[in-house]
Chain A
Amino acid sequence: MHHRFKDIVWLASRDYRNEWQMSSFFVIALAAVLGPMLILYGLKFGIVGSMLSTLIEDPRNREVRPIGSGRYDSAWIEQLREREEIDFIIPRTRAIAATIDLKSESANRIISVEMIPTGPGDPLLKTRVAPQNHQQIVLSEKAAQKLNVKPGDEINGSLSRRYKGRSERVHLTLQVADIARHASFTRDGAFTDLSLLEAAEDFRDGRAVPVLGWSGTNAETGNRTYPSFRLYTRSINDVAPISDAMGKLGIEVNTRAADIDIVRSMDRNLSLVFWLIALIGLVGFSFSLGASLWANVDRKRKELSVLRLVGFRTGEIIWFPVLQSAFTAILGWLTASLIYLGVSYTINGLFATQTEVSETICRLLPDHFLVALILTLGSAILAASLAGYRAARIEPSEGLREI
């Protein structure tokens, strides 16, 4: 059996080669269906893929922002930090108390910046040095430009308050630990250790800050509460469950879930459109291939009956049209892949100037080529099976004489 299968492969391929004109028509016809499908899917995968990866890479899409202010204590924040969906959480102090005036030696102006609490693992400061203590800050790019400073420089920070009817101002020396990417914070801002924000809030509330030598009423003993927090989930998929959980706790939140949903549903809909087109194309191709193979069995009736007469078994004759169909599938797939590679190279070249390095307009993974091959082979073999069944029913005696 095994040996004669080899013979059938040999005979089927010799016949296929001998009728190369007919064979190439079908290879080209398949490539004409499959090539555009690969390009279409490549475009969908490339464009939607870039959009999704932009969404995933931008940490702001993972942010869950509480609306308004509440009263959250450290214990509650700690408890949330334990949840595995949460990548980063840190409390915020009151926004009105979270500003600081900055002045540098190399620029003759004072700017007022927002302070943003930060800590190790802050998604906005990935690859940047985080402040280690209340004397270190990370400036937003805009603020650093206005102050004309670079990492390592020292700058002067000052806070003012009206206390017991007098206006007071305190100064402290700060070190620029690093400068954040512009995309992380587009206004004038400084990422600081939470302790500096707490100190600024205490100072503005008229309380003493012994560590920094600022005078005032003695600090309250009770637990500090925070009006808000910064929260980032681990991935964009965790945004919805976390915002639902917040909703249950009565905390109203703002997320970019809507943007994420738009891209997601676009991905789904485009996939649906693609599979519809692919289905129509493949079914159409299978029918035309199937019809021609069916007709081939009639055309080659005599030759097939000769094969039966010389002793090929029923099950072996089925392979004749099936193998030829598989040859068409493999060659058509190869041609389509070459067409795709050429076209995608051109498309990506055209858009190269408008896209970022990491983005590709038209892109396929090796897996996609493999899936295309399997689908094509599957439908080609299905198309050939009826013809194979017919071929197997040819009587060997038909080969003995003219009919």
Chain B
Amino acid sequence: MMTTVTHPGTAPGVNPSGEKVLIYHLRDVVKTREAEGSAFRLRVPSLQIALGEKIALIGESGCGKSTLLDMLSMTLKPSEIGSFRFRPEPGADPVDISALWQRRHLNQLGDLRRLRIGYVMQTGGLLPYLTVRENINLSRRLLDMQDDGLVDELANDLGIRRHLDKLPHMLSVGERQRVAIGRALAHRPAIVIADEPTASLDPIAAERIMSLFIELVDELHITVILASHAWRHINRLGLRHLEHHTHREADGSLTETVVSG
């Protein structure tokens, strides 16, 4: 059914010498948010995500999932950083994200996002004035990538080929979500970050789209971090759960979530 895209090197996330290549390596990263006497703190004592891994972050809303995703997608500055390294390719030197934040090199972070990260949003986030093809191709266009047939291939795999020249408002919510997945993958990013990508869909469509998404990510050897509160079918997709514990102070003044893995 799907065309296999070959990837140079050996198994994903493993360099020639056999050790794991870490795309994310965080140590003692903290984000604190305070509002009128009550504070929320997300603490990451240690987090290692290998290239090619599929991570699931499952929990109720308000537990800090979004905060962690924002930090991993380099759109939210952590309050404290022990170290935060990002290595998008096996051969590349790790990028010191902590230093980029401290020196306020926001445009460099933007460039990193554009080149290395794909996003699937809750409700598509498609640009209403571009056709489906242009929406999928947007990430490629910004990187000056030549057409190598991937857009058509993705459209084919996602079952939205006949919609390529339509505007998003002519599509159903599920179809739009498929377009969003296509856009997140089209520029072959190192990692795809998806925050509740199927929250707005009915359970059957959600399950179908979710497995399609994971299949594509697998095939393209893209690391994925997925946040969801519906974990029933996530288990079947072979994702690694990221452990997190939330506890509240008795007086309600502090809510702290600790993530590690």
Contact = CB atoms under 8 A, between A and B. Distances in A.
Contacts of B123: 402
Contact of B107 (A14, A17, A307, A313): A313
A237 B31 CA distance: 76
B152 interface: no
Interface string A2-16: 011001000100110
A230 B45 CA distance: 104
Contacts of A14: 127, 129-130, 134
B contact patch SS: mixed
B76 A397 contact: yes
B243 interface: no
Nearest to A14: B129
Contact of A11 (B73, B111, B122, B127): B127
B119 interface: yes
Given A400-B66, A400-B69, A401-B196, A309 B119 contact: yes
Contact of A18 (B106, B129, B196): B129
B75 interface: yes
Contacts of A396: 75, 110, 113
Contact of B141 (A7, A399, A401): A7
Interface in B83-134: 106-107, 110-111, 113-115, 119, 121-123, 125-130, 134
B122 A402 contact: yes
A311 B111 contact: yes
B139 interface: yes
Nearest to B196: A401
A306 B121 contact: yes
A399 B114 CA distance: 14
A176 B107 CA distance: 88
Interface in A296-343: 302-303, 305-314
Contact of B75 (A11, A302, A395): A395
Contacts of A17: 129
Given A4-B142, A15-B129, A311-B142, A400 B73 contact: yes
Contacts of A308: 110
Interface in B27-66: 66
B7 to A, nearest CB: 24
Contacts of A313: 106-107, 110
A314 B111 CA distance: 12
Given A4-B142, A306-B121, A313-B110, A400 B70 contact: yes
B138 interface: yes
A375 to B, nearest CB: 29
Contacts of A303: 125, 127-128
Contacts of B122: 400-402
Q: Which of A11, A14, A400 has the most CB of B within 10 A?
A: A400
B110 to A, nearest CB: 5
A24 B73 CA distance: 39
Interface in A36-85: none
Contacts of A305: 125
Contact of A309 (B75, B111, B134, B196): B75
Contacts of A7: 141-142
Given A3-B144, A18-B129, A310-B142, A397 B75 contact: yes
Contacts of A19: 129
Contact of A311 (B70, B76, B113, B193): B113
A396 B119 CA distance: 11
A121 to B, nearest CB: 69
Contacts of A18: 128-129, 167
Nearest to A4: B142
B127 A401 contact: no
Contact of A400 (B121, B139, B142): B121
Contacts of A311: 110-111, 113-115, 142
B106 to A, nearest CB: 7
B113 A309 contact: yes
Contacts of B193: 400
A13 to B, nearest CB: 9
B195 A400 contact: yes
A304 to B, nearest CB: 10
A3 B145 CA distance: 12
Contacts of A310: 113-114, 119, 138-139, 142
Nearest to B114: A311
A401 B128 contact: no
Contacts of A314: 106-107
Contacts of A15: 127, 129
Contacts of A306: 121, 125-127
B75 A401 contact: no
B129 A401 contact: no
Contacts of B73: 309, 397, 400
A401 B228 CA distance: 12
A7 B75 CA distance: 22
Nearest to A312: B110
Nearest to B113: A311
Interface of A: 3-4, 7, 11, 14-15, 17-19, 302-303, 305-314, 395-397, 399-402
6 contacts: A7-B142, A311-B115, A311-B142, A397-B75, A400-B119, A401-B195
Please list the 7 inter-chain residue pairs (A to B) with the smallest Cβ-Cβ separation, ordered nearest first. Answer: A311-B114, A18-B129, A397-B75, A15-B129, A396-B75, A14-B129, A397-B70
Given A11-B129, A313-B106, A400-B122, 4 more contacts: A302-B125, A305-B125, A309-B75, A310-B119
